[in-house]
Structure 1
């Protein structure tokens, strides 16, 4: 029997004493110099004929916000500070180190750390949330580089402090960069070490990066500018390693610190009143909650019941059944719980049933085609998901980058310009691949069943007297499909009905429902034939595309669950990284979408073009939401009057 909540040990990670040592009376931080466009002596010493001096970075040069901007357009600059927001997470956690392959990291355990250029908390988006490809100085107030982008110099804000009061220096930046190369994810370390030749602290607040020649200039300056910065002193004093799980989190320089960790139960982050960066325009109207609390539950059903009871107060809903029928409870009827569908301008996450291409049977594309025909989106959407979703076809669905018919114009010219790789005729002459259609009226679509049977027969997997499919050696076509026990009941039903159709084809499929920790381990080790997983969508070219879709790290990249290794995809990504304009980049990314769909390593499922959110009526957000982030933990805020009304009504404590 599990221990009670009260009997479980709590681990409090307080940093107040160390902060007080540096933030006592009489201490004042030095100020950031005023931005000027003149190159520094350090930049002029590099010998470049011209130096670009800027307050942020955009590969194509132009920044939307000027050096003296007051705040991002979409925030409420007068948003009040205070209150708590609480959310949920599934399963368990045993670490507060999200940078290791080992262990299961706690939700948002990376949010205490900052980088030279700003990043968006709790979101995959860049910053700001209303622009693509732009980043603005956070720990750095000025960036300098030569037009060829062979080096970059970041000038750091001298007032920046870690949460223990110690200064954030260029030496910490260099240490963090090298720590990731030495102890970080192998796919990251290999990719970056080939591109970034060195990192050097020119003085305490100036750091220089030198980049390799003969490579794309993409994802160089923004890559090093986005590295989380850790305290070198903390790592040296504790002896901690980045590649090992641990519950003690390194000190960070961000607006939040860890207040309390109750293993497998909850994590609480506290807004640091002594945070060094409250005065920055980049932070105006942001980081508004005093506390962010994450409650853990075994599964989605338990979490939903806890939300209804007010155990936590904000829920991003992904379950269509619950969204359609579950929110009929008294607090909703009384207006105490708000339901909203907010616009989402990002392409939907490319989620689906992923083939492990390392499985021998999936080397044959005909087998993958046949297996995919067991998935019936139309029936699934109508019968299990209340018709609330659309069928996803593309890796950049519903954006101008989505490939449609046969390639034309700039996209066709781009594909034909690729050297050293064969372009399949289907890619050049046929419309972009779309997900198959099925009958909505019944789970098994007989037309698709016949087609799948023919493909399996053609691939050498024929039906025996016992109804099972075997190859020439007599081996049964057996597949393993693990799912996490914390998954929603709807997802389990989707997988089970998919498996039923495979069984009708004569495929021996095992759907394993396993605990979250085991599931995490097996997914990292790629111990599966099929898995419900996702890749990342893209709106711009960058070397991160290689970690997700490239061949070089395909055998071990955590971002490439299929193990996709395609010379054609590699060639498209490499050429996309060499584009010199937005127009060329768009043509290249459309071609990438086309060839990824052609390679067919994932069965695309459903998507939603809106954010479904439910929350107790004590939060507010800007009336005009930015397109590229929901931003709940970033630019929403606490409504004290609404919270008081809920307490007066007895709805919340």
Structure 2
């Protein structure tokens, strides 16, 4: 999984009988796992092993945001929410960072689920409080769920689609009943629900985007806000959950300051000048060449690569198949042949990247070779409805010699385009309707233009015009929500336990939801079937077979031009900070870091000067 939700239900008298059976055999637990295997941490554990329970508290941690923000409500489709706003909210449960998918209670002291996963019950801790001292109750949980489903971003309606209803059983007991039994992931996903204060929202319009500071219950609260420019979070000293095993060693900074930059190149220079403290580097060129500074040489600014054991997912140039020109698979395949990764990796990326070859790359979930027996059992019923190559060929991304000369790829691309009814007239490519071919690539990042320019030249060699359109972050998000784009660069992140979020990516039900991540516009019954079966997989091996089958169908559909990935996180940070010696398997674990004792902190005046210098 990678986000929130799913489900199932029972009908008539069978519902009553199964419900009673669940009451008889289910037992509340401190943690729940996907396949009912024992969790890594027992009920009496004191802290996660990737945290330092004795980490000192204090100091300021300064980050950089990109673009700006105009909202403190991250749950709706209006506006751009401030980074890290989730820090002010507590969730029913939290996922450990060193297990594929195990949920441990946070607001919920115990979690109880039906043996057949037809429902899940959360027993709320009596000490759980909002920041104003009001107890968190089952009513707040139900209010949150109902509000997100009715007024929240469309992704919630897809993510929680299989939840039938929420029942308040007492002030501290709430039960989620599902539409169907058998979905193993849904009880864990429901645990990701943030709990909002019903009493605070009673006289406010939840659907309205604004900068009113909301009431939360989490480890931080919102401090100073400068609209679009900066936001400061202040640690809650008496946070009700600070001594829980799931919280020890986390949230060690007194304040977290986020200053926004409109250009990542400017932001990197600000990091090296000491105006903020931490940077996740995504540019291979910068990592290789932009840190030749005295601060790095003398150890003040630390460069570190932290191993990333997550599936890398798929980053790529995404086709919006709602556009007529991209609805023919041959056209998408042809355009993919014109992207020369090997040249870009050598000339632009200092050879730092691996070409992405799967939607589940860097994991056992990705397809390879020809489909095996278990995959064929999934794919055979769909023969004739999915590309025939799925059964007979191993998918391979196009490869060049890196010289920049791609005549063979261009010849093959032109053949495919001719098969699709396209033709060259003079120096312009005409589509099947006789119209000159021109499409727009929508961008928000300045630094990505250099990656697209060689692709643009290769397209121009075949008479195809690529228009690179760069817009600000707000406009970019609005155009994504309204599906007003031809192509974008985007990603489909994956976890070690894919599940309900796959509906958000590929399912027909999400194609027309403006808040979903179905950027491609997929509406394919065959893909829908695989996704539903994947979500209801009843074993790890069954899950792997379904991810591999899905991977093959998506790859042979040529819905994206695969980009690249690395197998580490590249981070740069000032040596005022330390992190635990044991890093989590599946996360950077940034909120387990702390300030080294005795080192000078930025003064209030310095912080304010930094804020005023931003932008």
Query: Residue 236 in 1 paired to residue 202 in 2?
Result: yes
Q: CA deviation at 1:642?
A: 4.4
Report which stretch shifted further, 251-260 or 552-561.
552-561
Query: Residue 208 in 1 paired to residue 175 in 2?
Result: yes
CA distance in 2, matches of 1:512, 1:44: 55
After TM superposition, list the pairs within 5 Å mapping 1:159-174 onto structure 2: 159-174=127-142
Cα distance, 1:541–1:609 mapped onto 2, change above 3 Å: closer
After TM superposition, list the pairs within 5 Å mapping 1:410-425 onto structure 2: 410-416=374-380, 418=381, 422-425=385-388
User: Could you tell me whether the CA contact under 8 Å between 2:510 and 2:516 is conserved in 1?
Assistant: no
Report which stretch shifted further, 319-328 or 51-60.
51-60
Query: Residue 85 in 1 paired to residue 46 in 2?
Result: no
After TM superposition, list the pairs within 5 Å mapping 1:464-613 onto structure 2: 464-465=425-426, 467-484=427-444, 487-489=445-447, 491-556=448-513, 557-613=515-571
Secondary structure, in 3 states, of the residue corresponding to 1:611?
strand
Q: CA deviation at 1:434?
A: 2.4
What does residue 34 of structure 2 align with?
59
CA distance in 2, matches of 1:470, 1:414: 40
What does residue 14 of structure 1 align with?
none
What does residue 86 of structure 2 align with?
110
Report which stretch shifted further, 344-353 or 47-56.
47-56
What does residue 582 of structure 2 align with?
624
Query: Residue 271 in 1 paired to residue 235 in 2?
Result: yes
CA distance in 1, matches of 2:539, 2:472: 47
What does residue 396 of structure 2 align with?
434
Query: Residue 136 in 1 paired to residue 97 in 2?
Result: no
Secondary structure, in 3 states, of the residue corresponding to 2:87?
coil
Secondary structure, in 3 states, of the residue corresponding to 1:54?
coil
What does residue 25 of structure 2 align with?
50
Q: CA deviation at 1:190?
A: 4.6
Q: CA deviation at 1:256?
A: 0.8
Secondary structure, in 3 states, of the residue corresponding to 1:136?
strand
Q: CA deviation at 1:161?
A: 0.6
User: Could you tell me whether the CA contact under 8 Å between 1:99 and 1:185 is conserved in 2?
Assistant: yes
Q: CA deviation at 1:71?
A: 0.8
User: Could you tell me whether the CA contact under 8 Å between 2:168 and 2:174 is conserved in 1?
Assistant: yes
What does residue 447 of structure 1 align with?
408
Secondary structure, in 3 states, of the residue corresponding to 2:510?
coil
Q: CA deviation at 1:645?
A: 12
User: Could you tell me whether the CA contact under 8 Å between 2:154 and 2:516 is conserved in 1?
Assistant: no
After TM superposition, list the pairs within 5 Å mapping 1:167-182 onto structure 2: 167-182=135-150
Q: CA deviation at 1:643?
A: 4.2
CA distance in 2, matches of 1:520, 1:538: 24
Q: CA RMSD in A?
A: 2.2
Cα distance, 1:202–1:250 mapped onto 2, change above 3 Å: same
Secondary structure, in 3 states, of the residue corresponding to 1:518?
helix
User: Could you tell me whether the CA contact under 8 Å between 2:387 and 2:556 is conserved in 1?
Assistant: no
Report which stretch shifted further, 228-237 or 581-590.
581-590
Q: Deviations over 1:150-185 (max 9, x none)?
A: 222211001011111111111100000000110012
Q: CA deviation at 1:420?
A: 9.4
Secondary structure, in 3 states, of the residue corresponding to 1:221?
helix
User: Could you tell me whether the CA contact under 8 Å between 1:306 and 1:312 is conserved in 2?
Assistant: yes
Secondary structure, in 3 states, of the residue corresponding to 1:110?
helix
Query: Residue 332 in 1 paired to residue 293 in 2?
Result: no
After TM superposition, list the pairs within 5 Å mapping 1:9-48 onto structure 2: 48=23
Cα distance, 1:168–1:521 mapped onto 2, change above 3 Å: same
CA distance in 1, matches of 2:498, 2:262: 38
CA distance in 2, matches of 1:645, 1:258: 19
Q: Deviations over 1:416-454 (max 9, x none)?
A: 3x47984543112221x2221023112x41111111122
Secondary structure, in 3 states, of the residue corresponding to 2:85?
coil
CA distance in 1, matches of 2:599, 2:339: 45
CA distance in 2, matches of 1:520, 1:482: 11
What does residue 363 of structure 2 align with?
399
Query: Residue 388 in 1 paired to residue 346 in 2?
Result: no
Secondary structure, in 3 states, of the residue corresponding to 1:453?
helix
Secondary structure, in 3 states, of the residue corresponding to 1:257?
strand
CA distance in 2, matches of 1:310, 1:47: 57
Q: Deviations over 1:537-561 (max 9, x none)?
A: 2422422211111111112253111
Larger relative contact order (Cα-Cα within 8 Å, sequence gap ≥ 6): 2
User: Could you tell me whether the CA contact under 8 Å between 1:159 and 1:167 is conserved in 2?
Assistant: yes
Cα distance, 1:204–1:370 mapped onto 2, change above 3 Å: same
Q: CA deviation at 1:233?
A: 0.6
CA distance in 2, matches of 1:483, 1:212: 40
After TM superposition, list the pairs within 5 Å mapping 1:198-347 onto structure 2: 198-213=165-180, 216-237=182-203, 239-241=204-206, 243-347=207-311
Q: 1:101 aligns with which of 68, 71, 77?
A: 77
Q: Deviations over 1:73-99 (max 9, x none)?
A: 221121111111111111121111111
Q: 1:189 aligns with which of 157, 167, 172?
A: 157
Give TM-score, length-normalised by structure 2.
0.91
Q: Identify unmatched segments of 5+ residues in structure 1.
A: 1-42, 119-126, 647-651
CA distance in 1, matches of 2:436, 2:382: 41
User: Could you tell me whether the CA contact under 8 Å between 2:443 and 2:489 is conserved in 1?
Assistant: yes
Q: CA deviation at 1:458?
A: 1.8
CA distance in 2, matches of 1:227, 1:456: 47
How many positions carry a matched residue from both structures? 587
User: Could you tell me whether the CA contact under 8 Å between 1:499 and 1:509 is conserved in 2?
Assistant: yes
User: Could you tell me whether the CA contact under 8 Å between 2:579 and 2:593 is conserved in 1?
Assistant: yes
What does residue 118 of structure 2 align with?
150
CA distance in 2, matches of 1:280, 1:562: 42
User: Could you tell me whether the CA contact under 8 Å between 1:535 and 1:560 is conserved in 2?
Assistant: no
User: Could you tell me whether the CA contact under 8 Å between 1:97 and 1:105 is conserved in 2?
Assistant: yes
What does residue 25 of structure 1 align with?
none
Q: CA deviation at 1:250?
A: 2.0
